[in-house]
């Protein structure tokens, strides 16, 4: 075969017939295929309804009798660290090949390639990040996109479900049907889907696509970070940084302090908060929010020592609490939007 390993990277939300076509082509060219499932560790949302383990089952089930030749590994997002993401891919592929080779006595020098659709736009830009691997450029089959399939699945209309069935492998549709009929998570996602649809429709008449501006507070005190649990959609029940939309008559810094005090009732005077700002940064990944294009300004408030101020969830926050930083950095699956990545930027290793 041309390759020892071909690497296929995607979110596969869900794994559809187009993905299956690429996987079959890869299996014709390589001894084994390493599939990296992106957005691993994210909470369930209408953009990422299935976790990495569920997608691994989909992929292996769709591979059928070739499942033993498919190696599936999870891959985290690094929204604001592209170099780190590239390193994650390289390390994960090297580890997967080493583990596989150790069991089969494969030679030390292996031929690795990358397979994907080399189209214009940001969605395929990652293909150029691995010049050490030969690129196999393929065309996806003419099927509904994963975005369209998620919309039909979460809408739940009978006609839509038939479209889903026609565009995914049989074993995958069985999983999707079981998820829709038997998973408690489905009802929550369906509510979020309806909320986001209504939210976007409210802005559909705007002459230009709106861009929203928010402000968030990363408050670190004595080895703890202040988090709030969201009370309403989107992201109901997820943990977040205190923050919200910027009002017309205030600066982004003023908005961050106001939202912090409204949502946590923290008894810290605004002047003290302003004096404790250690750093700030704009976070503007185009896909950071399901509500639409949303740019946030985050501020790092740092209090190195002292007793933790009393806090209480209020306004949009169902709960507020101080969480040890070591614990917070293990909570990626419980964070709203990109708030984990923002926290990681300021306090992560």
Q: What band does 345 get if pLDDT is binned at 50, 70 and 90?
A: very high
Topology of domain 212-347, CATH = Nucleoside Triphosphate Pyrophosphohydrolase (3.90.79)
Q: What is the per-residue pLDDT across 28-82, written as a single tens digit (0 to 9) for each? A: 999 999 999 999 999 999 999 999 999 999 999 999 999 999 999 999 999 999 9
Q: What is the per-residue pLDDT across 172-209, written as a single tens digit (0 to 9) for each? A: 999 999 999 988 899 999 999 999 999 999 998 889 98
Topology of domain 3-184, CATH = Rossmann fold (3.40.50)
Enter the pTM of the model: 0.91
Distances in Å between the alpha carbon of 92 and those of 23, 75, 79, 293?
19, 8, 18, 31
Q: What is the per-residue pLDDT across 260-275, written as a single tens digit (0 to 9) for each? A: 999 999 989 999 999 9
Tell me what pLDDT residue 106 has: 46
Q: What band does 108 get if pLDDT is binned at 50, 70 and 90?
A: low
Q: What band does 249 get if pLDDT is binned at 50, 70 and 90?
A: very high
Residue 86 CA to residue 244 CA, distance in Å, equals: 32
Residues of the chain with CATH 3.90.79.10: 212-347
Q: What is the mean pLDDT of residues 151-173?
A: 93
30-40 and 317-324: which strand pairing? unpaired
Residues of the chain with CATH 3.40.50.620: 3-184
> How far from each other are the two terminal CA atoms of the chain, in whole angstroms?
41
Give the position of tokens 């975005």. 147
Nearest alpha-carbon partner for 33 in 62, 59, 69, 63: 69
Tell me what pLDDT residue 123 has: 60
Q: Which of 90-104, 214-228, 244-258, 293-307 has the lowest mean pLDDT?
A: 90-104
Q: What band does 160 get if pLDDT is binned at 50, 70 and 90?
A: confident
Does position 251 have pLDDT exceeding 80, yes or no? yes
């Amino acid at each position: 075969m041309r390759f020892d390993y071909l690497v296929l990277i995607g979110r596969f939300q869900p794994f559809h017939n187009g993905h299956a076509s690429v996987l079959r082509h890869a299996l014709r060219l390589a001894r084994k295929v390493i599939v990296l499932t992106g957005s691993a560790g994210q909470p369930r949302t209408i953009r990422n309804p299935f976790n990495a383990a569920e997608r691994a089952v989909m992929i292996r089930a769709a591979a059928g009798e070739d499942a033993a030749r498919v190696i599936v590994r999870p891959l985290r997002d690094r929204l604001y660290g592209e170099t780190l993401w590239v390193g994650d891919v390289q390390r994960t592929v090297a580890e997967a090949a080493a583990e596989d080779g150790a069991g089969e006595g494969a030679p030390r020098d292996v031929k690795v390639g990358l397979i994907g659709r080399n189209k214009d736009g940001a969605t395929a830009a990652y293909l150029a990040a691995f010049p050490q691997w030969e690129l196999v450029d393929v065309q996806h089959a003419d099927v509904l996109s994963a975005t369209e399939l998620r919309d039909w699945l979460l809408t739940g209309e009978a006609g839509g479900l038939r479209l889903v069935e026609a565009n995914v492998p049989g074993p995958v549709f069985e999983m999707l049907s079981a998820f829709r009929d038997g998973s408690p998570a489905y009802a929550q996602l369906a509510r979020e889907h309806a909320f986001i649809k209504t939210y976007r429709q409210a802005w559909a008449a705007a002459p230009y696509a709106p861009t929203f501006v928010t402000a968030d507070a990363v408050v670190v005190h004595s080895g703890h970070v202040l988090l709030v649990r969201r009370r309403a959609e989107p992201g109901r029940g997820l943990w977040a940084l205190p923050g919200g939309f910027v009002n017309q008559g205030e600066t982004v810094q003023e908005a961050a302090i106001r939202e912090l005090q409204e949502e946590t009732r923290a008894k810290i005077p605004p002047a003290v908060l302003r004096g404790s700002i250690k750093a700030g940064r704009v976070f503007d990944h185009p896909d950071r929010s399901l509500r639409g294009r949303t740019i946030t300004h985050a501020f790092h408030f740092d209090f190195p020592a002292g007793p933790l101020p009393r806090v209480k969830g209020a306004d949009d926050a169902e709960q507020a609490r101080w969480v040890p930083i070591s614990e917070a950095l293990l909570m990626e699956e419980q964070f709203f939007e990109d708030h984990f990545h923002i926290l990681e930027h300021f306090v992560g290793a």
